[in-house]
Structure 1
């Protein structure tokens, strides 16, 4: 079984479920980010002595939890890739979802790193 020219197309149901899964993971992370951002609205990012690094618990949640949600979603997509591959199904769709979620996680981590450094 190789890459052959006459490959069967991916069923629309598989593609739809993969896109819905990726969107649900990203929207879930954005909801957590929005809720914790509104909870920490107006809190100072600096300590009383003017140094940075004194974040509240909600600010730490805002920085670390959304990327963790996306990483767990990507790992789950990779596990799903393995399960579909073992059944000889269209596994490349789920592999693409996993890599897409890892790329989105890098965006979240980069923005969180910028928030921690300011």
Structure 2
């Protein structure tokens, strides 16, 4: 059993690592989104009369799901790291915050991306 009352919030290196991890996962999701959008736009020759840039079914699924999956895996990775840091007695709240932030971004992107699948 550990003493969970004192969370030791004043560990700047651990907070920087958690923040850097969240920023890298967010940047990766943005790159995946940009590449999926570019792929959908370049494959648009099949449907030149479509009103939107994303007209293929596979394009829609990739653009709606891939960045959300990157954010979800990143959030779960942060939660796993939260547990390992907690087991070693480190500053785990920074990692838990990174995990919740990534999961929140994943839900926001999934809600926005669901509009692509509704068409």
Give the TM-score normalised by structure 1: 0.81
For the 8 Å contact 1:36–1:59, the answer to whether it is kept is no
* 3-state SS in 2 of match to 1:62: helix
Larger relative helix fraction: 2
**More deviation, 34-43/87-96:** 34-43
Equivalent in the alignment of 2:60: 59
Gaps of 5+ in 1: 48-53
For the aligned residue pairs, the C-alpha RMSD in angstroms reads 2.1
In 2: Cα distance, 1:2 partner to 1:105 partner: 29
1:109 corresponds to 2:110: yes
Runs of 4+ in 1 over 4 A off after TM superposition: none
Judged with a 3 Å threshold, the aligned counterparts in structure 2 of structure 1 residues 8 and 78 are, in CA distance, closer, same or farther, namely closer
Which ranges in structure 2 are unaligned for 5 or more consecutive residues? none
TM-score, structure 2 normalization? 0.81
Post-superposition offset of 1:30:
0.6
